[in-house]
């Protein structure tokens, strides 16, 4: 279903499964004469440089094919950085004004290897119209897990970025017995579900891979002017026994929280803000430092019980770059 800009909240609540930050890649395409297909997965927003040209024509920040003189369409095959369930798509044609496609098709497959000629492609979007110089948003309801995409553009043209918002699904088949894993990491299937505020940067940055590259690459709330504190709820990749936690305030120097507390709960509820839950303290309220990795192990109050979600409370407000929640996964809960 195509939706309007004002109704599109998926970038705030879900992970871009195709983003280069998770390893998303353009694998092949039939044509990239004017601009490379690898631009589709860039984290940065597209830009336009008025007087920039190459020996092939106008430089464009996206994937752009030559003008088609025969029947058919152009295509690009991409590998998701995180396999998962696709909930929404943004086909971004920003700055492609007179050279955007008229329609696109999006096909998907689930494959342990990169697709070959025998790949079983399934259609998610079938020749849907797209507008030039626009975000073209679509919501999807297919519950299956996918690993690869094939984008077809009709008949030719350019797309600046392709965003694939969804729920990561990790492959636990190679997990070693007794292996400690980051249960909160988006790369393992963790996802931030809700928070009190994310004015400056989205909550899912908190569980992204790597250390934050700058202050914008974390979770930061506005300055609190009323009593209380800010919080974020993270659904763990699977239920687990939590053994070690890292709270990283990297790059937050004048705006880190004064302190934090971590809580956990074991629940199958889908809406954790609408029901009363018995949140259990995991780490008591503890002072934080600026621009520092804080590791907690002996401080964890309960490393025996199973938890499915954690709630990070920060006092009174501020920014946290990353949170790691290492534990032993309870695979029977998957």
- List, for residues 155-195, the tens digit of each pLDDT value: 999 999 999 999 999 888 888 888 999 999 999 999 999 99
Residue 184 CA, chain-centre distance (Å), reads 13
Cβ neighbors of 113 (< 8 A, separation 6 or more) are none
Domain final residue pick, 123, 147, 168:
168
DSSP state of 201: B
Domain assignment present for residue 44? The answer is yes
Joined together, the tokens standing for residue 244 give: 């070690």
Task: Kindly tell me if the per-residue pLDDT of 311 is higher than 90.
Answer: yes
Shared domain check, 127 and 202: no
Q: Are 116 and 59 in contact (CB under 8 A)?
A: no
Domain assignment present for residue 318? The answer is yes
* CATH number for position 74: 2.60.120.260
70 exposure class (CB count in 10 Å sphere: 0-12, 13-18, 19+): exposed
3-class DSSP state of 6: helix
Q: Are 130 and 101 in contact (CB under 8 A)?
A: yes
Total tally of structural domains belonging to the chain: 2
Find the domain containing 232 and state its range.
181-333
Segment 145-151 shows an average pLDDT of: 97
Domain assignment present for residue 173? The answer is no
How much is the mean pLDDT over the chain? 94
Q: Are 184 and 323 in contact (CB under 8 A)?
A: yes
Phi/psi for 223 (5° steps) reads -70, 125
Shared domain check, 314 and 262: yes
pLDDT digits (tens, 9 = 90+) for 220-249: 999 999 999 999 999 999 999 999 999 999
Domain assignment present for residue 65? The answer is yes
Joined together, the tokens standing for residue 249 give: 């305030």
Distance CA 53, CA 59 (A): 5
Domain final residue pick, 138, 168, 198:
168
pLDDT digits (tens, 9 = 90+) for 69-111: 999 999 999 999 999 999 999 999 999 999 999 999 999 999 9
């Amino acid at each position: 279903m195509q939706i309007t800009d004002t109704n599109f909240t998926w970038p705030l609540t879900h992970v871009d499964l195709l983003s280069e930050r998770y390893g998303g890649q353009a694998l092949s395409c039939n044509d990239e004469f004017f601009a490379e297909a690898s631009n589709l997965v860039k984290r940065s927003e597209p830009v336009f440089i008025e007087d920039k040209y190459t020996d092939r024509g106008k430089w464009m920040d996206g994937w752009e094919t030559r003008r088609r003189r025969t029947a058919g369409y152009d295509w690009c095959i991409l590998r998701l950085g995180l396999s998962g369930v696709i909930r929404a798509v943004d086909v971004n044609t920003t700055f492609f004004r007179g050279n955007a496609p008229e329609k696109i098709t999006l096909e998907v497959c689930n494959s342990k290897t990169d697709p070959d000629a025998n790949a079983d492609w399934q259609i998610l979007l079938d020749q849907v119209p797209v507008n030039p110089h626009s975000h073209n948003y679509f919501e999807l309801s297919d519950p299956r897990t996918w690993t690869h995409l094939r984008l077809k553009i009709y008949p030719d043209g350019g797309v600046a970025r392709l965003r694939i918002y969804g729920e990561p699904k990790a492959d636990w088949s190679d997990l070693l017995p007794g292996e400690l894993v980051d249960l909160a990491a988006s790369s393992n299937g963790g996802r931030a579900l809700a928070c009190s505020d994310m004015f400056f940067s989205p909550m899912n940055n908190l569980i992204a891979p790597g250390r934050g590259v700058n202050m914008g690459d974390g979770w930061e709330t506005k300055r609190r002017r009323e009593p209380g504190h800010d919080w974020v709820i993270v659904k763990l990749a699977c239920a687990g026994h939590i053994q070690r936690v890292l709270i990283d305030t990297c790059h937050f120097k004048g705006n880190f929280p004064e302190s934090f507390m971590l809580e956990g709960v074991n629940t199958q509820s889908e809406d954790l803000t609408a029901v009363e839950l018995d949140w259990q303290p995991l780490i008591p309220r503890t002072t934080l430092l600026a621009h520092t990795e804080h590791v907690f192990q002996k401080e964890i109050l309960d490393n025996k019980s199973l938890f499915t979600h954690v709630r990070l409370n920060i006092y009174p407000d501020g920014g946290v770059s990353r949170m790691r929640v290492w534990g032993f996964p309870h695979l029977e809960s998957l």
